[in-house]
Structure 1
Amino acid sequence: MIWLSGRQFRAPAITGAIGLTIFAAAMVVIGLRIRAAGDPAGYQSLVYALDALVVVAPAPLGLFWGAPLIARELETGTAALVWTQSVTRRRWLAVKLAVAAVAALIVGGLASLALGWAAAPLDRVNQDRFTTIFFGTRGPVLAAYAVFAVVLGVTLGLLLRRTLPAMALTAATFVVVQVLMPNLVRPHLMPPRAATAPVTAAVIRNLTFLGQEPTIEGLKIPGAWVTASSDLRTANDQEVAREKYAACVNGSFDGMPDCLGRLNLHVDIAYQPADRYWTFQWLESAVYLALAALLAAIAGIRVIRVTV
């Protein structure tokens, strides 16, 4: 059964190996160029584009490896033939799932290693590995995403018994999960630490948002992840007077940072420190692998009830 499943998966595996080889070779070239450059910041746009590409790479694995794996056999009726050859349905499903999941694990893991090595000089400068797009392409989480995507595709293919609908639903479900995870689940994997951060003129210049209300967005701590921040507060821990804040914000744009800096402001923040990065990587990987295991269990229950 393992030999048969391996032969059936040979074409997708060869395609994946070719794609991974090309990607790894490109990462070697890019990584060497970044290391040879005097300033790795010049490659920031390229690395951002690579991260955007890699973070969605598990979705095609779910579409083209996972969804057709069972659905196509149910559509063509070949599953019924296998089940008459003294192979139990659950063993048939387990072997197919194992072959596809291991292949996805390898592809995801190697892609993460290749990109992580290439972008390492820039990562050391930026110190923002907790940023959503970077977090999903470094470390073990990318491999866990790939396993989840493939098992999701297999399970939906078994439930829907049609390849194209299973592919479409796999893509939509994977995207939804990838949006919900960093916004609703990841911030709560560990309790945040609390701290007070001064809001100096230099901090103001690096913010991503500063509006008419005394709130700020984009406050950064090198290597850490700021999950929440209070309104701007004064030295006596009171909310800054709105007329003073408005006078700075509505004045000269160039003079605004220094004007606010003279108010001696701070914010209370909740953050995840840099030394928790790998803990978050493994915790989120465990969540995705647990979801994959749950989907596999659902598929194992469902396969017994499939009529052919």
Structure 2
Amino acid sequence: MSAAGAVGGLPWTVARVHRTALIVWGSFVVAVVALLVWAMGVTAGPARAEAFHCLHSDSCEVTATLEYSAILRYTATVLSHCFYAVAAWAGAALIARELESGTAWLAWTQSVSPVRWLVAKLAVPALLITLSGTVLVAAYRWSWSNRPARVIGDWPVSAVFVARGPAMVAYALCALAMGAVAGLALRRSLPALSVSFAVMLLLSQCLDRYRADLWPTITRTGAAAYDQSGPVWSLESGVLVHGKRIPDPGYGNCEGTAAEAKRCLTENGVTGRYSVYHPASHFWPLQLVETGIVLAVTAAATAAAFRLLRRRTA
């Protein structure tokens, strides 16, 4: 076989060797899209009818609404965590297993350089992850945007936040790169699986913890402290005591008539109220900043993988 033929056949070889993983991933994508389409066709209509009925009636049921809410919530949870499976597969099966069994070394002696081998190993799944991830995000956004007003689980919820934007695709690509680094560094399937999974868990939890800090918040004081139109991500609220923030809306426990409550607040030094939050318009800035961070980590991990490969094969 010529060098050109070997290199040209690498993508097909990668797809053929990992066809089981491709079938499982393809089945997952089809199942999720089918579930969302079914939910829109069967559950969303009755849920909207319930919401309309509740606006014009003193009593109402929300059975369909709760069912649609549960579908959106569970689907978002699965989508926002599917990259863990990508990390485990990339670390264990895509890279480490071939190094452990020696098949990678055999390929490198047959007209395929280590760099071209790794390019094919990463490019094929990266393309499939990007395309299928885009489909999943689009399907979820379509289903989420058609939810009834009473459906629980808005954009600040971590799983919904990730599932509704490109961050989901970025996390999956990052998991692929992390798996490659772990596989090349450890060259054993189980340790590489564990390390890549743990690193992605740490990264996702860290960004989830500091997500609210990725974009400047809005602070309101006085009468406008709780005048927030639309769904917001409330981070902190409380009272101002001599200009100092105290995150306790019940400070002083002032009750009674308006005059009594006002006198009580004055005696406790309360000069106003405040709230800190992200409005719904901050979804895209937060989403894009997080996506950029994850893609930067992905680029660094990819560069580290190629550098490590050169050292291993020098």
Compute the TM-score of the two structures, normalised by the length of structure 2. 0.76
- Secondary structure at the residue paired with 2:221? strand
Displacement of 1:239 after TM fit?
6.7
Equivalent of 1:5 in 11, 14, 28 = 14
User: 1:125-204 to 2 correspondence within 5 Å?
Assistant: 128-184=154-210, 186-196=211-221, 198=223
- How far the C-alpha of 1:120 sits from its partner, in A, is 2.2
Contact in 1 for aligned 2:239/2:251 (Cα 8 Å)? no
Residue 225 of structure 1 aligns with an amino acid whose one-letter code is W
Q: Determine which structure has more spread, i.e. the larger CA radius of gyration.
A: 2
| Aligned residues of 2:230 and 2:279 also touching (Cα < 8 A) | no
Deviation of residue 191 (structure 1)? 2.3
Unaligned runs of 5+ in 1: 204-218, 252-258
Relative to structure 1, the CA distance from residue 69 to residue 246 in structure 2 (aligned partners, 3 Å threshold; closer, same or farther) is same
1:79 Cα offset (Å): 0.8
The 2-side partners of 1:239 and 1:176 are apart by 32
Matches of 1:54 and 1:199, distance apart in 2: 37
Contact 1:128 1:222 in 2 (8 A): no
| Preserved CA contact (<8 Å) 2:44 2:147 | no
Deviation at 1:198, TM superposition (A): 4.7
- Structure 2 counterpart of 1:71: 96
Deviation at 1:124, TM superposition (A): 5.5
1:122 is paired with a residue of what secondary structure?
Answer: coil
> Which of 42, 45, 51 in structure 2 is aligned with 1:33?
42
Q: Say if 2:135 is the partner of 1:119.
A: no
Aligned partners of 1:120 and 1:157: how far apart in 2? 40
Aligned length: 278
Match of 2:240 in 1: 233
Q: CA deviation at 1:3?
A: 2.7
Q: 2:245, 2:284 → 1: CA distance?
A: 36
1:46 counterpart residue number:
71
Identity of aligned residues (%): 28
In the TM superposition, what whole-angstrom CA distance separates every residue of 1:145-203 from its partner, at most 9, and x where no partner exists? Answer: 1111121112111111111111112222211111100222x233322233226599xx7
Shift of 1:273: 3.0
User: Which residue of the partner structure matches residue 22 of structure 1?
Assistant: 31
1:129 match: secondary structure: coil
Structure 2 alignment gaps of length 5 or more: 1-9, 52-63
**Tell me, what secondary structure is at the counterpart of 1:128?**
coil
C-alpha contact (below 8 Å) 2:44/2:148 kept by paired residues:
no
Question: Do 1:12 and 1:65's aligned partners in 2 also have CA atoms closer than 8 Å?
Answer: no
Query: Structure 1: how far apart are the matches of 2:65 and 2:272?
Result: 30
- 1:94 has 2:119 as partner: yes
Q: CA RMSD in A?
A: 3.3
Deviation, structure 1 residue 238 = 6.8
